[in-house]
Structure 1
Amino acid sequence: MRCEAQGVNMAQLVLVKLPKAEGGSKIEASDAIFKLPLRKDILNEYVIMQRRALRQGTHSTKTRAEVAGTGKKPFRQKGTGNARQGSLKGPHQYGGGVAFGPKPRNYEMKLNRKQKKEAIRVALSQKNFEQKLLVVDAFEVASGKTKDAVNLLSAYRAKKLLLVGNFDDMTRRSLQNLQSVRLIPAEALNVRDLLKAEFVLLTKAAFDWIEENFKQEKLEGAAA
């Protein structure tokens, strides 16, 4: 992980104007956000956190103390020839309680803010390294028609396309029927969506927001 202050060496991203896929101009981007080495460990922690957050944790089974039924001893201890039994509620009995079954619990896992930001930086860097990350000057479908949105994205026939930015209602309407496209604002950027996407498009406004809000924080006591 890079700990030194960044800013001298700059990564470069391609800025394109849709619907074109090739060409475009180069824009400078922070090395501390778009040119970090792969850290599978920190990506794994973030994804585990997200997957655990999806679990409701409402599962519940009844123990032998909670199932309905009599607490009477089913038959006398000796003389019947049967194995001794003290209750009909045991887990080995039909209709009995469950041994070590699931109970309601909170699956939430916490990561500190710096870990979360670092994981997103690493995910962005990986997409940039794979050349699956582009910046678009703007993305707007004024008509609200899906056909127009498809034409605008014709150069990116990805199974999973992630569009990051703030979009108006008509643009959102034009994309809501496209199962291969996912829209999220820059503020909701997360590792799971980045890793699942085959291609990532950032609006210029979203790119600027990321550059401003994901700058690598200086370590305490580091030289200015």
Structure 2
Amino acid sequence: MKSISVPEINFSNQEIIKKEYTIVNSIDIKSSKNLAYVVRWQLARKRSGSAKTKSMDEISGTTAKPYKQKGTGRARQGSKRSVQFVGGRTCHGPMPRSFDFSIPKKIAKLAIADAIKSKIINNKIITFDPEININKTSLVSKTLNKNKIISALFITNVGKNLTQFARNIKNIKIIESKAINASDLINFEHIIVDKVTFENKIMGALK
């Protein structure tokens, strides 16, 4: 059994204190390959794959030969919609496709665990009391600025007040615990999570 020290932020007095949590396993990041692989998978799923060039039958224009077959001294041509003419079809151009690929669920879980471990090691995970009453956007903004938190991902299932008053702050994103993903965990410098979610979800990912 080992203990880790995690900062806890108080939005009332804008202070940060340390709180000890007990974990079973040591925090070791085994490989960054899982994390890179899962982030690439997430980005691939976001791609629309809608790039498309026109084929011969989609080009508007005459179907007549541009000039007669013989007697001109030039190479024979069958249509002005051919690839060699301006305004003609595109040869081997992109067509609609899916960039998605599958990954094992175990790899996705390991990537999230590695991202969380990295944040804990670097003191970038901060907890807060979900019962605290937040009624002003400026309160959240001042607390973050005072503690030099420029970019933060809020993870909470119960902080309705926080969701309402923090969503308009620059470089802030708020998600529920079921939406935790590797890409968000590494894109934001700090992870700010309510204590209930931290103990149930974040600590669970470290087992």
Structure 1: how far apart are the matches of 2:144 and 2:167?
Answer: 14
Structure 2: how far apart are the matches of 1:170 and 1:138?
Answer: 9
Q: Aligned-pair distance for 1:30?
A: 4.6
Where does structure 1 differ by over 6 angstroms across 4 or more consecutive aligned residues? none
* TM-score normalised per structure 2: 0.86
Gaps of 5+ in 2: none
How many residues of Structure 1 are paired with residues of Structure 2 in the alignment?
204
Structure 2: how far apart are the matches of 1:36 and 1:69?
Answer: 65
Does the CA-based 8 Å contact 2:140-2:166 persist in structure 1? yes
The one-letter code sitting in structure 2 at the alignment partner of 1:164 is: I
**Alignment of 1:43 onto 2:35:** yes
Structure 2: how far apart are the matches of 1:114 and 1:13?
Answer: 27
**Alignment of 1:195 onto 2:186:** yes
Q: Aligned-pair distance for 1:135?
A: 2.7
- Say if 1:40 and 1:16 are closer, same or farther in 2 by CA, change over 3 A: same
User: What percent identity do the matched residue pairs reach?
Assistant: 25
The one-letter code sitting in structure 2 at the alignment partner of 1:185 is: E
Q: Note the alpha carbon deviations across 1:98-132, whole angstroms, 9 max, x for none.
A: 11222121222222211111110011111122221
Does the CA-based 8 Å contact 1:121-1:214 persist in structure 2? yes
1:174 is aligned to 165
Q: How does 1:1-224 map to 2 (within 5 A)?
A: 9-10=1-2, 12-18=4-10, 19-21=14-16, 23-31=17-25, 35-138=27-130, 140-143=132-135, 145-211=136-202, 213-214=204-205, 216=207
Structure 2: how far apart are the matches of 1:101 and 1:86?
Answer: 21
- Say if 1:55 and 1:196 are closer, same or farther in 2 by CA, change over 3 A: same
Structure 1: how far apart are the matches of 2:171 and 2:19?
Answer: 27
The one-letter code sitting in structure 2 at the alignment partner of 1:171 is: L
Gaps of 5+ in 1: 1-8, 217-224
Structure 1: how far apart are the matches of 2:76 and 2:36?
Answer: 51
* TM-score normalised per structure 1: 0.80
Q: Aligned-pair distance for 1:17?
A: 4.1
Q: Note the alpha carbon deviations across 1:4-35, whole angstroms, 9 max, x for none.
A: xxxxx4351314241222x4221123537xx1
Q: Aligned-pair distance for 1:93?
A: 0.9
Structure 2: how far apart are the matches of 1:71 and 1:97?
Answer: 13
- Say if 1:74 and 1:102 are closer, same or farther in 2 by CA, change over 3 A: same
